[in-house]
Amino acid sequence: MIRAAMIEDVALARDRLRHMLQVHGDLRLVGEAGDMKRGAALIRSAEPDLLFLDVTLPDGEGPDLIRGLPREQRPLVIFLTARADHALPAFEVEAIDYLLKPVGEEALARALDRARRRLAAGTEAHAPSRHIAVRDGSRTDLVPIDAIDLVEAAGHYLCIHADGRVHLLREALAVLADRLGPAGFVRVHRSALVRAGAVETITERRNGDADLRLRSGATVPLSRTHRPALERALGRKSGF
């Protein structure tokens, strides 16, 4: 049984979706909310597997609600939106689908099939997506995670180095490190995150720190504080 919740501020839209979900016998609606504050409380208390989430709510943006949750508390998300150009946030928080309002039965059925497959896959449902969405003005670039070697903090932004290009993302390094950890990325400095598999050369310093040379040619400092994490990622038992 899939435990589903709905966060939508328009009562008529909630009524319509609730009615449409009744024909899906493997789904049980465990709660509804009409704003961000009540929605956050609903997620904490009901712990739904699947969340139908409006992109725009009276007290904020739906994607911000998901970003504010610890990754282990995030349900699968299907966005609800009245405008097709509001679908981009779905890429940024790894939503499995988005539905244009008024929601159609066929589109809903397809989205639920995706949710069933993700939930049936177990841990794969929580695996990182294969790309990172980076906005550049009116354009959104989907940067393949496999192409990223290095992420550096620069003020309020992150510089994502991928295939010879640098993409700017407004995000905290700790948040991105948590997201990319399963893909083999390691924090090597308070302001740097690298793919362990991209490390080609390690040059020692006298104080226990080191310099890493990556496959891209970039050189990144490795602090002794973060050294054990890199050793584990590289399969080293002790030292280099």
pLDDT 10s digits, 206-234: 888 999 999 899 999 999 989 888 888 88
Q: How far apart are CA 99 and CA 107, in angstroms?
A: 7
Identity of the residue numbered 118 = R
208 in the same domain as 189: yes
CB 200, CB 220: distance < 8 Å? no
**pLDDT tier at 17, thresholds 50, 70, 90:** very high
Of the listed ranges 17-21, 131-135, 141-145, 233-237, the least confidently predicted one is 233-237
Q: What is the pLDDT of residues 167-186, one digit of tens each?
A: 998 888 887 888 788 888 99
138 in the same domain as 121: no
pLDDT at 126: 47
Question: In terms of residue numbers, what domain contains 164?
Answer: 132-234
The domain that contains 35 carries what CATH number?
Answer: 3.40.50.2300
157 in the same domain as 110: no
Q: Which two tokens stand for residue 128?
A: 């990182």
Q: Quick check: bond before 89 cis, omega within 30?
A: no
Flag whether pLDDT at 112 surpasses 70: yes
Per the domain annotation, does 88 fall within a domain? Answer: yes
Per the domain annotation, does 239 fall within a domain? Answer: no
Domain end call among 126, 160, 182:
126
220 in the same domain as 152: yes
Q: Is the entire prediction scored with pTM above 0.85?
A: no
99 in the same domain as 6: yes
Higher pLDDT, 8 or 237: 8
Residues of 47-63 as b/e, b for ≥16 C-beta within 10 angstroms? ebbbbbbbbebeeeebb
